[in-house]
Amino acid sequence: MTTGLAAAALTAALAVPAQAHGDGRPPHWELKETGTDVRFRGLAAVSRNSAWLAGSAGTVLRTGDGGRTWRNVSPPGAQELQFRDIEAFDARRAVVLAIGEGEASRVYRTDDGGETWTESFRNTDPRAFYDCLTFFDPRHGLAMSDPVDGRFRILSTEDGGRSWEVLPNEGMPPALEGEAGFAASGQCLVSSGPRDVWLATGGAARARVLHSADRGRTWTVADTPVPAGDPARGVFALAFRDRSHGLAVGGDYRADQPSPRAAATTGDAGRTWTPAAQPPPAYRSGVAWLPYSRATAVAVGPTGTDLTTDGGRTWRTVDTGSYDTVDCTPDRGCWAAGERGRVARLEN
């Protein structure tokens, strides 16, 4: 259930009357039936009415009516692939990433709402494992792989994902032993504005965030206070509302392990990170700023949704449903997706 204080904060952030919903309920997640039980870790919200989902068993779904109906637009022959990230430019154009070692890592693009897909990249290096992708605009985008030859590998496109090239790694700091990204929500690589991009890591002695201000050519790196020191721990998701102000969430994804200090904030483009004074109570894999808000954001994970109204300094749980990823749109549409085909939209 959504608490009263949280409902008031959501109402203010979304700029809608508290009683706008026909049954008088405050803003809340409302499940949308997808007709499948696959796990959706990839989510691209286009608007309140339009969204794309990407998940296990090579599944891609699309809605254009606010989640009332979903169309299966999965690429043919992709049943063995694990889609973990999808970026959509509108209701017709999208790019989806499959993860895995070697040739399991692939990128597909559609220009006709998923009627047809073109495989635009297939990884042929058995040492690479791609985790996430992001776009600065409809033409320029990046994808990231776990370290190869001791450095994270960056893939770049300048034509909307129709073709890709591996960028030189001279500008990438060395990776720590055991360091990797987490393909948990499509938010381990995020961008803001025309050139800035951030990469989240874990699995090593320290959980770090890398930042590039030149579309992935050169990078700086900063430690975060989010605990690491284990392959299951680190920063799982990032969200930036502009090029300076960002949020990091994560923890330990194992259900039987605690996740203290699992959130942090930055106000200087990721050069320094401050731990949340009151972090989420458990592991969180996705995070998003609410539209037009300088201080309100939501974080999601298998045990619930948390809300901050002070820019990430304190968080409180407002829902106990399981979600892996979350995304919001300029027209005040917020979507969440996760296991067993769960998809919800923030209703008000």
| Mean pLDDT, rounded, for 261-282 | 98
Residue 347: pLDDT band by 50, 70, 90 thresholds? confident
Supply the mean pLDDT for the chain.
Answer: 93
Q: For residue 13, is pLDDT > 70? A: no
Q: What tokens were used for 11? A: 């109402």
212 vs 24, more confident: 212
pLDDT at 19: 37
pLDDT at 77 over 80: yes
Which residue, 283, 245, 236, is CA-closest to 261?
283
Judged against a pLDDT cut of 70, whether residue 201 lies above it is answered with: yes
Residues 150-192 have pLDDT tens digits of 999 999 999 999 999 999 999 999 999 999 999 999 999 999 9
**How far, CA to CA in Å, does 183 sit from each of 102, 301, 313, 333?**
15, 14, 25, 24
pLDDT at residue 229 in the model: 96
Q: Give me the mean pLDDT over the 94-119 stretch.
A: 98
What are the Cα distances from residue 88, in Å, to 99, 164, 214, 320?
A: 18, 17, 22, 28
Q: Residues 223, 226, 229, 234: what is their CA dihedral angle, to the nearest 10 degrees?
A: -100
Other beta carbons less than 10 A from residue 326's beta carbon:
30
Distance separating alpha carbons of residues 16 and 20, to the nearest angstrom: 7
The average pLDDT across 2-25 equals 48
Instruction: Classify residue 149 by burial, with Cβ atoms within 10 Å: 0-12, 13-18, 19+.
Output: exposed
* 138-149 confidence digits (pLDDT tens): 999 999 999 999
SS3 185: coil
Report which of residues 65 and 2 the model is more confident about: 65
Range 49-72 average pLDDT = 98
Q: What is the pLDDT of residue 348?
A: 74
pTM of the model: 0.94
Question: 300 pLDDT exceeds 60?
Answer: yes
> For position 110, what pLDDT does the model report?
98
pLDDT score at 142: 98
Count the neighbouring beta carbons within 10 Å of the beta carbon of residue 15: 11
Percent of the chain predicted with pLDDT > 70: 93
Cα–Cα nearest to 193, from 142, 131, 241: 241
How many Cβ atoms from other residues are within 10 Å of residue 176's Cβ? 18
How is residue 339 annotated by DSSP?
Answer: G
What is the pLDDT averaged over residues 283-295? 95
The model's pLDDT over 222-269, given as tens digits with 9 standing for 90+, comes to 999 999 999 999 999 999 999 999 999 999 999 999 999 999 999 999
